[in-house]
């Protein structure tokens, strides 16, 4: 079991949004459009889109980090030229979103959204700042651990994945019903990035590695 169940009552928003019926398993024909994915062109993603620290005139406040990893299929093969999107809160734990009322400062030099395409090894790379933890109203004294949101397309629309990356050693993971919604510990731990000193750049930024493995689809294109 990899994915969290839809209904995970500790995370209150699932109670009225989780489908009550299981998804209908369908032995898809090889021509089903869900087994294909949109192709994103390199001209559609700007070279600065992957550097969230350079989207404004000044530098954002916070701990500068490099986050990189590979997008792989279930056989460990690289998924090339696929779109990876990242979004996050700023260093104070505040999103650049009108609905986020956490009384922490906005950063005029940080929006917190980025995009890139994977290279021929399936690798993506972002430069950003480490997000802060933030409170939410799920339960008393609820705090989300620091996390980056990731969106990945893969080779099939049925493989589409949105997930969250966490940071090693964060004590809030043990208390977080979203992280804990994943039923088994080995699966949960796959969402924790690794500190990687080989990615760290001297006098510049700390490096983290986070690989993303997409689910199997019934028809794997070669």
Confirm if 107 and 115 have CB atoms less than 8 A apart: no
- CB 202, min distance to another protein, A: 30
Binding region for another protein (CB under 8 A) out of 29-37, 123-131, 167-175, 192-200: 29-37
Confirm if 154 and 220 have CB atoms less than 8 A apart: no
Count, residues in the chain = 222
97 in catalytic set: no
**Residue 36 or 200 having the CB closest to another protein:** 36
Q: Does 13 bind another protein (CB under 8 A)?
A: yes
Residues 6+ apart with CB under 8 A from 171: none
Give residues 177-206 in contact with another protein (rule: CB under 8 A). Answer: 178-179, 181-182, 186-188, 190-191
**Number of chain residues interacting with another protein (CB under 8 A):** 83
Q: What is the DSSP letter of 203?
A: T
Binding region for another protein (CB under 8 A) out of 40-48, 118-126, 167-175, 195-203: 40-48
C-alpha to C-alpha distance for 38 and 163, rounded to whole angstroms = 19
Confirm if 131 and 144 have CB atoms less than 8 A apart: no
**Residue 176 or 199 having the CB closest to another protein:** 176
- CB 210, min distance to another protein, A: 9
C-alpha to C-alpha distance for 150 and 85, rounded to whole angstroms = 6
Give residues 66-105 in contact with another protein (rule: CB under 8 A). Answer: 72-76, 83, 85-87, 89, 95-97, 99-100
Per CB under 8 A, the list member of 5, 58, 135, 221 interacting with another protein is 5
Q: Is 123 helix (H, G, I), strand (E, B) or coil?
A: strand
Which residues sit opposite 78 in a β-bridge?
72
DSSP conformation letters of 82-120:
-EEEEE---TTS--SSTT---SS---TT---EEEEE--T
- CB 91, min distance to another protein, A: 15
Give residues 133-172 in contact with another protein (rule: CB under 8 A). Answer: 149, 151, 156-158, 160-164
- CB 203, min distance to another protein, A: 29
């Amino acid at each position: 079991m990899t994915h969290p169940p839809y209904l995970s009552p500790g995370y209150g928003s699932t109670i009225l949004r989780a489908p009550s019926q299981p998804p209908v398993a369908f032995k898809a024909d090889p021509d089903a459009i869900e087994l294909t994915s949109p192709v994103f062109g390199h001209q559609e993603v700007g070279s600065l889109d992957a550097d969230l620290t350079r989207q404004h005139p000044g530098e954002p406040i916070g701990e500068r980090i490099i986050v990189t990893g590979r997008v792989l299929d279930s056989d460990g093969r690289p998924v090339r030229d696929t779109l990876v999107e990242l979004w996050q809160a700023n260093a104070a734990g505040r999103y650049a979103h009108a609905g986020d009322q956490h009384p922490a400062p906005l950063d005029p030099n940080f929006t917190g959204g980025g995009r890139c395409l994977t290279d021929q090894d399936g690798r993506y790379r972002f430069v950003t700042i480490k997000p802060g933890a933030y409170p939410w109203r799920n339960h008393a004294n609820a705090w989300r651990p620091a996390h980056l949101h990731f969106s990945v397309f893969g080779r099939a629309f049925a493989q589409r994945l949105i997930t969250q990356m966490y940071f090693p050693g964060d004590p809030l993971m043990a208390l977080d019903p979203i992280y804990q919604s994943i039923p088994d510990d080995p699966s949960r731990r796959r969402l924790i990035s690794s500190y990687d000193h080989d990615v760290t750049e001297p006098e510049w930024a700390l490096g983290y590695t986070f690989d993303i493995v997409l689910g199997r689809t019934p028809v794997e294109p070669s």
